[in-house]
Amino acid sequence: MDLDFAPEDETFRQEVRAFIAQNYPKALRDKQDKGEEMTKEDYFSWHRILAKKGWATPSWPKEWGGTDWTPTQRYIWSEENARADTLAILPFGVSMLAPVLWTFGTEEQKARFLPGIRDGQVWWCQGYSEPGAGSDLASLKTRAERITGDDGKEYYLVNGQKTWTTLGQFADWGFFLVRTDPDSKPQAGISFLLIDMKTPGITVRPIITLEGGHEVNDVFLDNVKVPVENRIFHENQGWTCAKALLAHERSGIAGVARSKRNLERLREVARTEPADDGGKLLSDPFFKRKVAELEIDLTALEFTELRTLAGESSGKGPGPESSILKIKGTEIQQRLTELALEAAGHYGAPNLRGLGHNFGPVGPEEAHGVAGAYFNTRKTSIYGGSNEIQRNIIAKMVLGL
């Protein structure tokens, strides 16, 4: 057991670092720095550059575009991306749907959908939660009935409402959980459907979150006709796909590398912001202690993640242990935004959203938007299975209680 990187890993790190430095779009960097809202093209721009290089989907099977990197290389990859603060690759297609496709999809489905995900050509969104089915996802009611179309082909006619659909306003396609058998047990009557978001009968309505952003949406489905061949896996066995997807969603959720980057940023802020005594905040014993505690917490999570990855690399998929990563990862992300807001002092209060670029900054640049980030990050302990649900999973699946 050691932490040393082999010379070839160091070479790899240099290669990755140089590639990011030379290829990361400058326009994207500027938008990020200014905190501007991203367009669909912005979101895809870095993805497409990586796709050309063959690096957009490192964790995929080699035949579909994976890189066959070692766990160490993948670790270096995420470290370097966090270090350079690159825009994260959207998870919906690449890390949520794709594993379902290559595990449960037919060869035809894989060939039809995986390349568009890999190359950043098709934007996917998730249709899981419903107003009445959140933590209790299996109680979902969106109904899909088999019909024969006028063209003689078989379709599902889908009716219902999905909610919390992240960035659904940009989506070309969505993966949906729908009820195909209303009479069996909740988990047993669900199917996994891929739906073209341009199909007539789909309405996407924004949900504005408490910091004022538009990230999530309601999706209404009104007599939406979906070809039967868009179903993944067997009818009424979509829950199996859903569970696999949720485990993958959780394993990526720890966000260790990004949190390390944000912690570094917090230290920078605390080095420049004033303390009550005229010194710097990082010399304030109270604040320093909190940063140290958080750093230790993050170190523990990093090693827990490394141990989980090591388990994965020996052939085990992400198991219920990934719930630990979700709980601790999101708690740390939240704590980071909490301390950033605290560091900003008075300048946490201004809300410059909507005032336009001509308004100019108020207070130090690093204070800009910290309150919004704090409010927004409260979602992380709610989404992807709330942290209460994650504790239930560990209690049942790991501790056997």
Please give the positions annotated as active site.
249
* Nearest distance, CB of residue 94 and another protein, angstroms: 23
| Degrees, nearest 5: CA angle 280-333-41 | 105
Q: Please spell the DSSP secondary structure of 28-55, one letter per residue.
A: HHHHHHHTPPPPHHHHHHHHHHHHHHT-
Residues in the site for another protein, rule: CB under 8 A? 129, 132-136, 139, 163-164, 207-212, 216, 273-278, 281, 284, 286-287, 338, 341-342, 345-352, 355, 359, 362-364, 371-372, 374-375, 378-379, 381-383, 386-388, 391
d(CA 196, CA 187): 24
Cβ proximity to another protein, 137 vs 263, nearer residue: 137
Cβ proximity to another protein, 7 vs 278, nearer residue: 278
- The partner residues of 146 in beta bridges, in order of sequence, read 156
**Type of residue found at 381:** S
Contact indicator for 127, 219 with CB cutoff of 8 Å = yes
Cβ proximity to another protein, 215 vs 295, nearer residue: 215
d(CA 297, CA 302): 9
* Nearest distance, CB of residue 386 and another protein, angstroms: 7
Closest Cα partner for 284 from 294, 295, 272?
Answer: 272
Query: What DSSP designation does 273 have?
Result: S
Q: Residue 222 has which token pair?
A: 């009104």
* Nearest distance, CB of residue 204 and another protein, angstroms: 16
Count of alpha carbons within 13 Å of 42, Cβ hemisphere only?
14
d(CA 365, CA 322): 36
**Type of residue found at 8:** E
**Type of residue found at 297:** D
The residue count for the chain: 401
Q: Residue 43 has which token pair?
A: 């979101």
Residue 267, Cβ density class (10 Å: 0-12 exposed, 13-18 middle, ≥19 buried): middle
Cβ proximity to another protein, 260 vs 335, nearer residue: 335
Residue 173, Cβ density class (10 Å: 0-12 exposed, 13-18 middle, ≥19 buried): buried
- The partner residues of 147 in beta bridges, in order of sequence, read 155
* Nearest distance, CB of residue 96 and another protein, angstroms: 18
Cβ proximity to another protein, 122 vs 362, nearer residue: 362
Q: Specify the residue for token string 């910091």.
A: 211
* Nearest distance, CB of residue 287 and another protein, angstroms: 7
* Nearest distance, CB of residue 378 and another protein, angstroms: 5
Cβ proximity to another protein, 135 vs 299, nearer residue: 135
Contact indicator for 46, 89 with CB cutoff of 8 Å = yes
d(CA 68, CA 61): 7
* Nearest distance, CB of residue 251 and another protein, angstroms: 22
Cβ proximity to another protein, 119 vs 331, nearer residue: 331
Cβ proximity to another protein, 318 vs 369, nearer residue: 369
* Nearest distance, CB of residue 189 and another protein, angstroms: 16
